Amino acid sequence: MFRGACHPSVLVSSSSCVLLLLVVGGVGALEVSTGKVSTVEAINGSTVLLPCTYSSCIGIKNLYFNWHYDDNGTMLKLCEAVIPMEGVEPKVSVFHERVEFVGSSKSNNISILLWNITFEDQGAYLCFARNEKEKFRNHTAVFTLLVVDQIKELDKSLTVIIVSVLGAVIGFSIIFMVIKGLVVHFLLSGDEKTKECLVSSGIDNTENGVSGARADSKAPPKA
């Protein structure tokens, strides 16, 4: 697997590419990718998308690409084409009756569809690209297809346990909030009653002259 480098004639105008090369230690600008998930399980008889995109920090010119299937060491070509320049759609040659090109140069996409897959289609698929603008440097990405009778489902008993635990946690949370609300309500009610008691007691005592306030008392008249 080879990775390209930036063309010398565009080093001045492509400073970001030069910086990238310096940082990652010579990794080229051209890159093809099959996405974050490079292995997929698909049901026998279904149609599968084999994803692949390309990128280059200096652009492309006569970008050649192809798809191959690794048949136990024998590389079978599925399709190939050349993209003259950015935004120009390629004329794709397809060599497999169940392969369809679904990419577009406008989105740097060179993906294909594989129709009506069988167990014999299981294996590694290679997406290859070569950029003339980078002195024909190239890059390859691998996508692995696994063909099964049916997609494995999560154990139902485990699902029931998870749902039960979540339900219990939510239930306890609701009960806790209700109890907390009731306690706060009773505490606030008790405080209000205490305040009312103190206020009313103060008023009564004031009216009766026993609030601690000084009352003027007149001495009995002398005979």
Say which DSSP state 121 is in. G
At 165, list the tokens.
Answer: 């635990």
pLDDT of residue 192: 64
For residue range 24-38, what is the model confidence (pLDDT) as tens digits? 334 558 999 999 999
Q: Which one-letter amino acid corresponds to residue 87?
A: G
Alpha-carbon distance of 198 to 192, in angstroms, equals: 10
The whole-chain average pLDDT of the chain stands at 79
pLDDT of residue 164: 74
Q: What is the pTM of this model?
A: 0.58
Does 1 reside within a domain? Answer: no
Instruction: Tell me: do 42 and 132 sit in the same domain.
Output: yes
For residue range 44-102, what is the model confidence (pLDDT) as tens digits? 999 999 999 999 999 999 999 999 999 999 999 999 999 999 999 999 999 999 999 99
Does 160 reside within a domain? Answer: yes
pLDDT(198) > 60? no
Instruction: Tell me: do 166 and 92 sit in the same domain.
Output: no
Contacts of 65 (CB under 8 A, 6+ apart): 32, 52, 54, 80, 81, 82, 83, 90, 110, 127, 128, 129, 130
Does 116 reside within a domain? Answer: yes
What CATH code is carried by the domain that includes residue 142?
Answer: 2.60.40.10
Domain that residue 102 falls in: 8-148
